Amino acid sequence: MTSTQVTDVQQKREQDLVDTVVRSFDGAGDERLRFIMQTLVKHLHAVVRETRLTEKEWEQAIAFLTDAGAITDDKRQEFILLSDVLGVSMQVIGVNNQAYADATEATVFGPFFVDGSPRIELGGDMAFGAPGEPCWATGTVKDTDGNPVRGARIEVWEADADGLYDVQRPEGHMAARAHLFSDDAGEYRFWGLTPTPYPIPADGPVGKMLDAVGRSPMRASHLHFMVTARGLRRLVTHIFVRGDEIGWKDTVFGVKESLIKDFVRHPAGTSTPDGRSVEGPWTEVRFDIVLAPAEPAQPSV
């Protein structure tokens, strides 16, 4: 039965329930909380009514959420993963990081950031022994007026060549993650790993959901950045590899055209910019970062 086949009497009963539940939040002291809860109720009920959700389907949804809670721990957040694959995370990012001048676009934070990463000096190596092809990354940090940003804190992290982050390995030590600071000219440089595609954790309820709907769990190759500087809006973003086999099919919808970069490949034996001796081939990439003001007067149109 579709919603258009529901009788007027039935539709009134259903709408009366929606109205009653919405009114139940009228007494909330926090106006913002009241607005969010009432809006959420309206949309949740609309899904139930539009799809004519069965009791069995409702039970399956509850079981799915229960399983997501059971698998979540201090190293794995299945609900963030769920938000990611439904595109909700990217929508929240978009709403809270409105376009401003030529500021660098934001994208999803992801579930694998870890506080307390080791500091490296400019030109240092953030791989810390993680397997993968070396990558020389350089760029500048500027504000939207073109002024270099000195001392910007740049957090970088990524998966290794096996498609794993350090927190997914039993060894327990940090690798393929670090932080550094831009110099007086706003420039930065470091050695990392050439990004490779990898699957999100697919052994839980989110992975089963993707399999059921015929979607891939693969993420496009990327390198994470989080950049903070006084008076400027924090930037959480990635850069992606041009020509990547996953590309726009990224399962968390994180790819943006402005964030696709050329990872230039050099054959074994090619001299590196800092004179480092590298066994085998290596790549280099440039990523110039532009930070918006902390409280921009108005978004660009």
List the CATH number of the domain containing 88. 2.60.130.10
Regarding whether 240 and 146 lie in a shared domain, the answer is: yes
In a domain, 96, yes or no: yes
**Does residue 251 contact residue 220 with C-beta atoms inside 8 Å?**
no
CA distances in angstroms from 241 to 84, 270, 283, 284, listed in the order given = 20, 21, 11, 11
Q: Is the pLDDT of residue 1 over 70?
A: no
The sign of the torsion formed by the CA atoms of 184, 187, 193, 195 equals positive
Arithmetic mean of pLDDT, 2-8 = 77
Whether 130 and 175 have beta carbons less than 8 Å apart is answered as yes
- The rounded percent of the chain whose pLDDT value lies above 90 is 89
Looking at the fold, whether 48 and 171 belong to one and the same domain comes out as: no
Instruction: Give the per-residue pLDDT at 301.
Output: 43
**Residues 250 and 102 reside in one and the same domain:** yes
**Is 49 in the same domain as 102?**
no
Task: Select from 53, 71, 90 the last residue of a domain.
Answer: 53
Is 220 within the bounds of a domain? Answer: yes
- Identity of the amino acid at 271: S
State the total domains in the chain: 2
188 and 285 part of one domain: yes
Average pLDDT, integer, range 199-206: 94
Percent of the chain with pLDDT over 70: 97
147-196 per-position pLDDT tens digit: 999 999 999 999 999 999 998 888 878 999 999 999 999 999 999 999 99
Bridge partners (DSSP) listed for residue 198: 219
74 inside domain: no
CA 52/CA 45 separation, integer angstroms:
10
Q: DSSP code of 38? A: H
For 10-27, what is each residue's pLDDT tens digit?
999 999 999 999 999 999
- The residue with greater pLDDT, 128 or 300, is 128
Residue 301, in any domain of the structure: no
Q: Assess if residue 66 is contained within a domain.
A: no
> What is the number of other CB atoms lying within 10 angstroms of the CB of residue 10?
13
Range of the domain at 233: 82-291
Query: Do both 46 and 115 map to the same domain?
Result: no
- Whether residues 43 and 107 share a domain: the answer is no
Instruction: Write out pLDDT tens, residues 208-255.
Output: 999 999 999 999 999 999 999 999 999 999 999 999 989 899 999 999
- In the DSSP assignment, the letter for residue 301 is -
Q: Where are the alpha helices (DSSP H) in 146-259?
A: 205-212
Residues 29 and 135 in one domain: no
Q: Final residue of a domain: which of 53, 74, 91?
A: 53
- Say yes or no: 11 and 147 in one domain: no
Q: Tokens standing for 278?
A: 């590298």
The rounded distance, in Å, linking the Cα atoms of 142 and 293 is 11
Beta strands in the chain (DSSP E): 134-143, 153-157, 177-181, 187-193, 198-199, 218-219, 222-228, 235-241, 260-261, 264-266, 282-286, 289-291
The verdict on residue 69 lying in a domain is no
Judge whether 172 lies within some domain.
yes
Co-location of 112 and 45 in the same domain = no
User: Domain check: are 24 and 94 in the same one?
Assistant: no
210 assigned to some structural domain: yes
- Integer angstrom CA distances of residue 31 from 27, 36, 95, 105, 152: 9, 9, 20, 31, 36
Residue-wise pLDDT for 265-274, tens only, equals: 999 999 999 9
Q: Do 250 and 163 fall into the same domain?
A: yes
